[in-house]
Amino acid sequence: MIRYAHMPSPVGPLLLAASDDGLHQIEFQNPRHPMSHCDSWEPRECEVIRETAAQLHEYFEGGRRDFELPLAPRGTTFQLDVWRTLATIPYGETISYAQLAQRVGKPSAMRAVGAANGRNPLPLVLPCHRVIGSDGSLTGFGGGLPTKVFLLRMEGALPATVDLFG
């Protein structure tokens, strides 16, 4: 049984979905790639959701840099490899899509790696916002570019002078 709840955050309301297996999904208010919600989902908190909300609150307050949660994302083997690799990008640092593809062991599959990154069901916890263009540009993000700028600035990975539209 997948349970879900909403939590407020500095980047807007977040939907958290989990089961006894772990956290399945974090979704922004207006996601770029909405996840499918099943009629059997139950609008109720569980321990995983409560712990996720607590750790996200600590993250947004600046007191948490790493998450310690049971994760249960659903995807292809390739997507899971990409998502596991996202978890290794340290707080306050960024890497390019080319570097991500290299770390996944598929240096010639940058587009596929980028697509898997864009389908990450656990943004924030698996920090896809830390992946940027090779030229330093801030490319697409499921929560929107203003959210990506907010997160990178909050983590100290983006100078305050970066212009989102420049």
Q: Tell me, yes or no, if 46 is annotated catalytic.
A: no
Residue from 5, 40, 17 nearest 121 by CA: 17
Q: Hunting for tokens 């499918």 — which residue is that?
A: 36
d(CA 30, CA 28): 6
Query: Which stretches does DSSP call E strand in 116-160?
Result: 131-132
Exposed, middle or buried by CB within 10 Å (0-12, 13-18, 19+), for 19?
A: middle
Query: Annotated catalytic residue: which of 86, 128, 151, 158?
Result: 128
Query: Which stretches does DSSP call E strand in the chain?
Result: 3-7, 14-19, 22-27, 95-96, 131-132
d(CA 123, CA 121): 6
Give the single-character DSSP code of 41: -
Cβ 9 vs Cβ 60: under 8 Å: yes
Active-site residue numbers?
Answer: 128
